[in-house]
Structure 1
Amino acid sequence: MSPTDTTEPAVSVRQAIALRTTKAVQLWLEIIDDPAERERELNALSKADLRDLGELLDTDTGVDLLESVSEDSGATLLRVLPTPRAAGYLDLLNSDHAADLLREVDAGTREEWLTAMPHERSQVLRGLLSWPQDCAAAHMVPETLTVHPDMTAAEAVEAIRGHAWRLRGDSRTSAYVYVTDADARLLGVVPFRNLVLAEADQAVADMMKRDIVTVSPLTDQEDAATLLTDHRLVALPVVDADDRLLGVLTEDGAAGIAEEEATEDAEKQGGSAPLEVPYLKASPWLLWRKRIVWLLVLFIAEAYTGTVLRHFEEEMEAVVALAFFIPLLIGTGGNTGTQITTTLVRAMATGDVRLRDLPQILGKEMTTGSMIALAMAVAATIRAWTLGVGPEVTVTVALTVAAIVLWASLVSSILPMVLKKLRIDPAVVSAPMIATIVDGTGLMIYFWIAHLTLPQLAGL
């Protein structure tokens, strides 16, 4: 038998639909276990194909598929299903994921699906949807394991068995058992393993940990995810102002938030608003809307560069060689600033640096900038010498490139921190924006230094 005879045949979702059997769809999901590939194939389907796929999905395959693709793609699939089936799948999914899917559809469709669900489940999801989308409570899992402090270990285990169904099979929320009083106020936490292995008559109050890391429901989702990651927790309790336990942000939820924030930061740093949908599903009209505002803002901001050049028109006419180096100088400043802001914005997103670290950041970046400025000044000197522009212009260019590098280092080190303090996303200090800021100011520095070093410009 040849090697090719023992390999599993490749199955696409279109082939599975053409076979019109649930088994074919199940085989496709088993072979194509990469979520990105599943989503790519799903996004390529027409509405009619999606409708046919929906008819072939059963409980297991439907939940498997919806859990593996993005909320946008999952919502697109649910829209073509009859309301009872769509509501049925949402009832089976983890609460946080179901709420994310509901946010992707219009208010009318959302209400239809919620109404078709069991009342208790609908109320849970309505509660999640009532929170702002960028806060911790919007992404929490409300179902948790709770016991009371006056219970013994045996009584606690028995109580957990009684309401374990609330976890909906979600192992993410069973790592910890939370200790609450009669008013649901959080008192402590016990690892589930410790509770099961404890002596039957040992009191829960004696084994619980009272020093608990928690967040409020309105805590920014990125800050909550960072806190969970920093403390290496599986779940992070979300409590209200009275310390009542509302739910938990899970490790998976934090990973999803981190991925979403990283994607948004990357798009903003590229000078574009976040797409909020998979790229292949974005229409040219959507791409235009997301990009044109930033491009117009940058266009207006860049216009002052022309104003600066016009202001120094006489200087360039007196020393034509000055114009040779304008692209080189402003490009160097923009590149320097982009390197720093990219590094700092990412470090801020991961919690590596905060506002209190600004003096250390400034010292580090200005020291690095000084060394870079020296190296770039040498490179500029060599370039000016090869163009034969004379010693005066050579000195002007060398001094300017060093000054621009230092100026770009200073601005790029401070600006992200200042924006963060003002509660503005530091990712808006995008590569195009920082380059635009440095372009005009760099030209001013260039001509000011030229006035000090070139005798031809005396009196201008």
Structure 2
Amino acid sequence: MTSLGDLAARGDLRGVRERLDELDVTEIVEIVAAELGRRGGGAAASLFRSLPKDLAIAVFEALEPPLQGDLVGRLRDETEIKVLLEGLDPDDRAELLEELPAKVTKRLLSGLSPGERSMTAALLGFPAGSVGRRMSPEVATVPETVTVGEALERVRREGDRAETIYLVPVVGEGRRLVGVVSLRRLLVTGRDVPVRDVCAEPVSVLPEDGEETAARTVRENGLIALPVVDHERRLLGVFTVDDAMRALERAESEDSARGGGTEPLRRPYLSAGVLRVVRSRIGWLLGLVVGATLTVTVLDSFEDALEQVVALALFVPLLIGTAGNAGAQAATTVVRAITTDDLRLRDLGRVVGRELATGFLLGAGLAVVGFGPAWWFVGLDIAVVLALTVVAICMLATGTGAAVPLVARAAGVDPAVVSAPFITTFVDATGLIIYFTTATLLLGL
């Protein structure tokens, strides 16, 4: 059967419309995303132009921002692009414009209506990665001086333009935030009750705060929306729960990718071209290859010992694998605890101490299990060397895996970037040094 993208590329509008009747928005989004990943992506643009206006807007809003940027780059009709941009919320529009070259962003901003342009430009003025870029400036607010009935009327008037009305900021003079009240609270309270009597103490963040930090605040406090205020507590906007969950998902995806030694694709796999996938991996592989030369250097330094006791070489892969896995386990645990704010640099001593004890017990357990078979195959002397080495490298690996992420976080570096891959490379080399040094001392090499 001819694909929808092929029909659009051939200009078969009738075939496209017939096929569209069988699909929902989610399926069309998946098709457009996949077509954008193909060489050139021309079929994606042709398919998108074939969509009815309302459906096109719905599909565009459902695409990930990087894919929106790709699609905008392939559309040539400025009017069409303007309609799509005007239909986005200011925070979503700012996220899309981040994906485009500066010249394109400036041109598209100039085509927006004055109000939308002003709000979008204000968001883009905050640092990349900050909650200021992800907040919605369109907020329904109520003054602290009104009654509940007056507040409900105000929410009805302003609700259409606000991104959320389920949590309503209460403001005082100069738009300073004094509290928040839920829509449910307003609905179940008498109309003559003053709003100041039913509003709650607000949890808020500054616009320069990181979006991941703000997202964790939303999750930990069970909030529907989080007010964003300036240093004088003037309300600037709100960070909604759906944006917060998206930020956390993006952060977890980045940590997962970097923990596995690759850069995040930031788009669905099938919509990423082969060259993009290669670029996301090649840098890490080159870095790890350079790091692996340490292992080669260590082996070369102990060449004489290997020549005298060839059996030592049999256990090098086992020790390297054990050290790398133990370090990766510790690093993954600590990075996760850092992400959830369970650990900070001040906890370094306690964490390293716990992981050293954990490494000792893990190493002792592995040594007990492996001592008998090693004695049977290679003799008592080498079995003792292996047992002592396993205990030592497990302690080294878990201690390193605990310390490096905490130090990296304190230095302003993403802990996931320096966790598992680099820790594995480090403990591989140092583990071999411990192994051959132990063998040299106990075997008299």
Q: TM-score, normalised by structure 1?
A: 0.88
1:199 is matched by which residue type in structure 2? G
Give the alignment of 1:98-137 within 5 angstroms: 98-137=93-132
1:212-268 CA-partner distances (Å, limit 9, x unpaired):
111111111111111111111111111111111111111111111112111211221
| 1:247 maps to which of 213, 232, 237 | 237
**CA displacement at 1:182 relative to structure 2:** 2.9
Task: Check 1:286–1:384 CA distance in 2 against 1; reply closer, same or farther (3 A cut).
Answer: same
Mean Cα deviation higher: 131-140 or 76-85? 76-85
Aligned match of 2:58: 64
**CA displacement at 1:148 relative to structure 2:** 0.7
1:39-64 CA-partner distances (Å, limit 9, x unpaired):
33554596443333333333421221
- Whether the 8 Å contact between 2:168 and 2:183 is mirrored in structure 1 is yes
2:428 is matched by which residue type in structure 1? D
- Whether the 8 Å contact between 1:267 and 1:273 is mirrored in structure 2 is yes
Please state if 1:204 is matched with 2:198: no
Task: Check 1:119–1:271 CA distance in 2 against 1; reply closer, same or farther (3 A cut).
Answer: same
Task: Check 1:352–1:49 CA distance in 2 against 1; reply closer, same or farther (3 A cut).
Answer: same
Aligned match of 2:134: 139
Aligned match of 2:307: 317
Please state if 1:448 is matched with 2:437: yes
How far apart, CA to CA, are the structure 2 residues paired with 1:351 and 1:24? 52
How far apart, CA to CA, are the structure 1 residues paired with 2:205 and 2:409? 20
Aligned match of 1:5: none
Task: Check 1:71–1:344 CA distance in 2 against 1; reply closer, same or farther (3 A cut).
Answer: same
Please state if 1:218 is matched with 2:212: no
Count of matched residue positions in the alignment of Structure 1 and Structure 2: 442
**CA displacement at 1:290 relative to structure 2:** 3.2
- Whether the 8 Å contact between 1:87 and 1:114 is mirrored in structure 2 is no
Runs of 5+ consecutive residues of structure 2 not aligned to the other structure: none
| 2:381 maps to which of 392, 399, 402 | 392
| 1:176 maps to which of 153, 159, 167 | 167
Task: Check 1:351–1:13 CA distance in 2 against 1; reply closer, same or farther (3 A cut).
Answer: farther
**CA displacement at 1:424 relative to structure 2:** 0.9
How far apart, CA to CA, are the structure 2 residues paired with 1:124 and 1:205? 29
- Whether the 8 Å contact between 1:147 and 1:178 is mirrored in structure 2 is yes
**CA displacement at 1:191 relative to structure 2:** 0.6
How far apart, CA to CA, are the structure 2 residues paired with 1:88 and 1:137? 25
Task: Check 1:241–1:25 CA distance in 2 against 1; reply closer, same or farther (3 A cut).
Answer: farther
Runs of 5+ consecutive residues of structure 1 not aligned to the other structure: 1-8
- Whether the 8 Å contact between 1:84 and 1:113 is mirrored in structure 2 is no
Give the alignment of 1:315-354 within 5 angstroms: 315-354=305-344
1:53 is matched by which residue type in structure 2? L
Percent identical among aligned pairs is 37
1:16-51 CA-partner distances (Å, limit 9, x unpaired):
773448865763552745865663355459644333
How far apart, CA to CA, are the structure 2 residues paired with 1:431 and 1:339? 8
1:365 is matched by which residue type in structure 2? E
How far apart, CA to CA, are the structure 1 residues paired with 2:3 and 2:172? 53
How far apart, CA to CA, are the structure 2 residues paired with 1:281 and 1:38? 9
- Whether the 8 Å contact between 1:136 and 1:218 is mirrored in structure 2 is yes
1:187-223 CA-partner distances (Å, limit 9, x unpaired):
11111122233222211111111x2111111111111
Task: Check 1:379–1:275 CA distance in 2 against 1; reply closer, same or farther (3 A cut).
Answer: same
- Whether the 8 Å contact between 1:72 and 1:101 is mirrored in structure 2 is yes
Mean Cα deviation higher: 427-436 or 18-27? 18-27
How far apart, CA to CA, are the structure 2 residues paired with 1:416 and 1:98? 34
Please state if 1:407 is matched with 2:396: yes
Give the alignment of 1:239-278 within 5 angstroms: 239-278=229-268
SS of 2:409's equivalent?
Answer: helix
1:403 is matched by which residue type in structure 2? A
Q: TM-score, normalised by structure 2?
A: 0.90
- The root-mean-square deviation of aligned C-alpha atoms, in Å, is 2.7
**CA displacement at 1:281 relative to structure 2:** 4.0
Give the alignment of 1:355-394 within 5 angstroms: 355-358=345-348, 361-362=351-352, 364-387=354-377, 389-394=378-383
Please state if 1:18 is matched with 2:12: yes
